[in-house]
Structure 1
Amino acid sequence: MKKISYVSFDSSSKEFILKSLGKNVDGEGFIVEASTNKHVLTQDGEPLHIDDWGGIRKGSEIFFKKDLPSVLDAVNQATGSSNG
């Protein structure tokens, strides 16, 4: 069984973590690539606001929202499980 870890951060810590990954937060609060200023997208192709950011899957730059369906999908993909 794979172990799933969860860590929570405040806003300033989130921005520090994002900067270490080559990301910034634009004037509207969306996560963007530091080098191009293009929006970071979720797997659904949506721009991701820092308030909605739930995490990044290990070994990738797959960003997901903090809502329950997005978190469950990320956990299922990380563990190889399925929803149905």
Structure 2
Amino acid sequence: MRILVLMHPDFMPPDSSDGYTAQEINAWKTEYDVVSTLRAAGHEVRALGAQDEIKPVREAIESSSRTWFSRCWRNSTTTSPTTSTSPAISS
């Protein structure tokens, strides 16, 4: 499942907690734990720092939709005639 995790821009976690002090980690620990747990569960996760603007959220959703459509289209054009070409939506 593709998941967009919204958070305050000040709490955007790095990809890894290596090299950070406990005090630095404490600032974004919750966000890091959420993102890393979702990824460990096999989800495609994108973290997005958003505060007052809705435009970055809309762009992320639209970009994700275009990517999903593109993947489905590619998959449907490479399947065999006996395979369904309808893209499945997972939840």
TM-score by length of 2: 0.27
Choose between structure 1 and 2 for higher RCO, CA contacts under 8 A separated by at least 6 residues.
2
Q: Choose 1 or 2 for highest CA Rg.
A: 2
Higher normalized helix content (fraction of residues): 2
